[in-house]
Amino acid sequence: MKYLLTALLLSLSATPVLACETVQLGSLEISEAWSRASIGMARPGAFYITIRNTGATDDALAGIATPVSGKPMLHETVVKDGVASMPHAPAIPVPADSTVQLEPGGYHGMLMGLTQVLKEGETFPVTLKFREAGDVTVPVAIRGMGAKDAGCVDKKD
């Protein structure tokens, strides 16, 4: 029991580090997965991530899955003539030797039908489905509602 508690405490305190850690999948380096805290479960959430393709093969993020959303989808915010819309993105290209960011005002994961409240400081898993590299599950850090980035220490601008 004591060990369990210690393990639990350790895993809780270690979550911010985990979310900022880079996950390797073949030649893909995945980092800075984050989301914003939600008010209740009625509104859709958004999630953001950085994907670096160090390989020579083009890839694409073709879908996402997560237990916190009944219908997670990829979307892109497009501002045309000053008007913002969010078309569905069937896939997000991750070309060879380049970095793609899902970030506020651009590509993002849209988490419709939240199954739980997203609480600041906690994490949830998201499975990324790549056309070439396959699937990988990463921890997503839940930040405050006013957050604009993952808040990782090495990524300050």
Nearer to other proteins, 14 or 148 (CB): 148
Task: Classify residue 68 by burial, with Cβ atoms within 10 Å: 0-12, 13-18, 19+.
Answer: buried
Binder of other proteins out of 1, 5, 83, 153 (CB under 8 A): 83
Nearer to other proteins, 132 or 149 (CB): 149
From residue 37 to residue 56, what is the string marking binding to other proteins with x (rule CB under 8 A)?
x-x--xxxxx----------
In the complex with other proteins, the residue whose CB is nearer, 46 or 152, is 46
Backbone angles phi, psi at 4, to 5 degrees: -60, -45
Instruction: Please identify which residue in the block is written with the tokens 């958004």.
Output: 46
Quick one: 154 or 157, whose CB is closer to other proteins?
157
Binding-site string for other proteins from residue 94 to residue 113, where x marks contact by CB under 8 A and - marks none: ----------xx--x-xxx-
What are the CA-CA distances from residue 136 to residues 80, 96, 141 (Å)? 34, 18, 16
CA gap 54, 71 in Å, rounded: 30
Cβ 72 vs Cβ 112: under 8 Å? yes
Cα 69–72–73 angle (5° rounding)? 165
Min dist CB 15 to other proteins, Å, is 21
Q: Which positions touch other proteins (CB under 8 A)?
A: 36-37, 39, 42-46, 71, 75, 77, 79, 82-86, 104-105, 108, 110-112, 144-148
